[in-house]
A and B are shown apart, each in its own frame.
Chain A
């Protein structure tokens, strides 16, 4: 049997506001437990919520970026359930009247084509706190710093057909929200979390299969693995004559295993109703217009501009425009080194590989954009070769200083002293009299090849620091006389 996978995503994006969605407590990441949970966040009796204007504006910006309809009247609802990280016993969210209506996100596929993924809606809501499962004499600890952090939940239609599409969609959302500056996009800190709805059906069948929801995936890698795991599980189940049960699942990134969530097993009934402590949110045309006029450059537009202005390939342009920090980094490098191609090679090549290997983001790169530009300038002015540059980059990554300092301290400067180089060339020629003979007897084409043969020993003698152009000149001069 040929199976088709159907995937829909629910994406939680923490908005980059300074304060919480309903209180004036700070949203800074990493504070000591419960030091950023004010009376409202703790659901102290009698406390009341007031909506953060910036959270609303950020949600509208997202809607505009995906060409969605902005609902000029949206309503906050209470979603009732008990959980220790949910102090009020309900989550304030939007059910029937979300701020952002249907929209579309274009995703690039590996074959160079594009696909449209429909967005069902996006709504504003508050984040919950965290349960820490370290053992406190058999108890769990609750940290409510995150409680009340503004989120938009973006709900896609089940338009994706494999993990690749789901990842491309997730990456595109990341690119959009970071380009807009409405989220820091720091996945490791939970700024973007994915719930993946997966079902399978026989190829050609119209009805969807029963879906499961794997919750709270916070990296593209985990998402890819979790999808593969779940698709295989569902197909196995069905092929063994069983059926898929609608359930919520939890993927463990450490073990690479997934399981059904016990806390979600019991039938829930969220008893949504409009929150009487908040009033309907009305948004003026003027506010929407103002946000539309000032919308930052979006990833697609940015990629097009990179191609036109910097002469980049589609691939490089897509990659470098994929999030705001990367794009800004790239453009800073270009500005300082004045070489868009070399800059693109370095950012999408060496730097990106190093960031991946260390699982860090460009915002936390130990090599800053001006530093990388400094390195590229030294390649361009022949102070170092491309090969040596990688060595310098490695040292820069290890925070040993900027390019010039490292080149100086490690003595990596190309040897450009013609007297010194001539002596070395003379020595190599003297060591290889037969090759010299062959060269002198050969035609132009063969001469070129033989010339190359001298480079190896010369570079070896100079520890790779010889300026290849100069060596070439000296060789030609010596061999032709």
Chain B
């Protein structure tokens, strides 16, 4: 069962080949047996999952099932789940049991999907390797000596290890696309405002966006059909009709104009990754697409821009963790300042503290104009670069990451080098555009991700392009040895 995509599993449920309860038990068993080596889950919601599975089976029997009814899903531990611990990978929230659901969780519940558990992640989504989690590093199923990427590393590893058919993630600077690339998955970051952020614990509010991590573009479409919804509780959520993302998956790619940004193929890009990307582009040409070089001149500056915008917003977003109303509180505070400073020093990990300090610094008196304001101006220039490209092409393609999965601990002592791993993904968040990573080759036994960037609200087109590519190739069907290929 675990070798199947959501689309295949849904068929199995409809045809009564197996029940949701059987399916759910199967995945719960796999998690129990196998996750020790990956550490991809923080919380496994066995009882809840089985109860939901039984309700899903009733719905399936009644014939009022939705496409995801009865499908087990793993959720990044950043989405608040009513009655289920939501830690955001932090000691600060190790005891936090939300009394409400995130909008995304409500959507999955309404669709009748089953919550398998909550996946590991970089603390407060701050990281590209999943090594900053309070719950320990996650290991890449393709090579357990390597990182799965981050911050949605637990979701990526869980799906790549076939411990869940699909998972949710969030992407602030590449946190869906980069781990998807490093774990051989399809990961989609939708247009900013397409998926509600309500109940999704904020890292950088103007960049965060939830999205699916799956084993095919077809599955990503099924997931996005559930996740994308207008939510009046999120002021930045856009009230625009949600198309049926599955309906246009098979559209032809004739005449598709592909842009290759010259800045994405320069120094620092692993040559084998470059080869894989060029081979993928050839596939698209064979399908009738035309290719031209484009330019995103401020690509290099997107990293510094991001490392001002994101920490600044985070520094304020994380002020609510003060030990007063929920979450961690230090022992025996001697006065109010002691309560604050010790709770926060003990509750947050090093990377989170660093980013809070950088953000506070960038916003502090005398630096605001040179840092925050400057970054927000640069942000518009970065967006304008993309807009100029979309006058000429329909989709921008390139590598998702400059390197394949790197070794655990390899970059933890050098934050700046780690930050530069996000060079191709960050600008997409700054501009608020949709971006997707799909598997497009292997290098040294590790997956390579091809990134597709579209104009605002072009998710359907990106999924269509991804799906056609996956019809013609089988990179997405490769399975990590550690996952155990047997059905």
Binding site for B on A (CB under 8 A): 39, 42-51, 78, 80, 82, 84, 87-90, 142, 269, 271-273, 276-279
Contact = CB atoms under 8 A, between A and B. Distances in A.
Contact of B236 (A51, A271, A279): A279
B322 A82 contact: yes
A345 B372 CA distance: 62
Interface in B141-193: none
B361 to A, nearest CB: 9
Contacts of A279: 235-236
Question: Taking each of B198, B205, B319, which has the highest tally of chain A beta carbons within 10 Å of its own beta carbon?
Answer: B319
Interface stretch (B96-104, B284-292, B388-396, B423-431): B96-104
Given A50-B235, A82-B322, A279-B236, A45 B80 contact: yes
A51 to B, nearest CB: 7
Contact of B102 (A43, A46, A90): A46
A426 B369 CA distance: 96
B319 A90 contact: yes
Given A276-B205, A277-B235, A47 B316 contact: no
Interface string B44-65: 0000000000000000000000
B105 to A, nearest CB: 10
Interface string B364-406: 1100100010000000000000000000000000000000000
B119 interface: no
Contact of A88 (B201, B233, B319): B319
A44 B233 contact: no
B329 to A, nearest CB: 12
Nearest to B205: A276
A358 B357 CA distance: 53
B44 to A, nearest CB: 21
Interface of B: 79-80, 86, 88, 93, 96, 98-100, 102, 197-202, 204-206, 232-236, 312-313, 315-316, 318-322, 324-326, 336, 340, 360, 363-365, 368, 372
Contacts of B235: 48-51, 277-279
Contacts of B326: 42, 44-45
Contacts of B93: 45
B360 to A, nearest CB: 6
Given A44-B326, A50-B232, A50-B235, A276 B198 contact: no
Given A90-B316, A278-B235, A45 B201 contact: yes
A73 to B, nearest CB: 15
B98 A48 contact: no
Kindly list the 3 A-B residue pairs having the minimum CB-CB distance in the complex, ordered from nearest.
A89-B319, A271-B363, A276-B205
Question: Which secondary structure dominates where chain B touches chain A?
Answer: loop
Contacts of B318: 89
Given A45-B98, A142-B324, A273 B232 contact: no
Given A47-B198, A80-B316, 4 more contacts: A43-B320, A46-B201, A48-B234, A89-B316
A80 B315 CA distance: 9
B233 A48 contact: yes
A43 B316 CA distance: 12
Contacts of A269: 364-365
Contact of B86 (A45, A48, A51, A142): A45
B322 A50 contact: no
A120 to B, nearest CB: 21
Nearest to B232: A50
Contacts of A80: 315-316, 319, 360, 363
Nearest to B333: A139
Nearest to A144: B325
Contacts of B236: 276-277, 279
Contacts of A271: 315-316, 360, 363-365, 368
A273 B233 CA distance: 22
A87 B312 CA distance: 19
B377 to A, nearest CB: 13
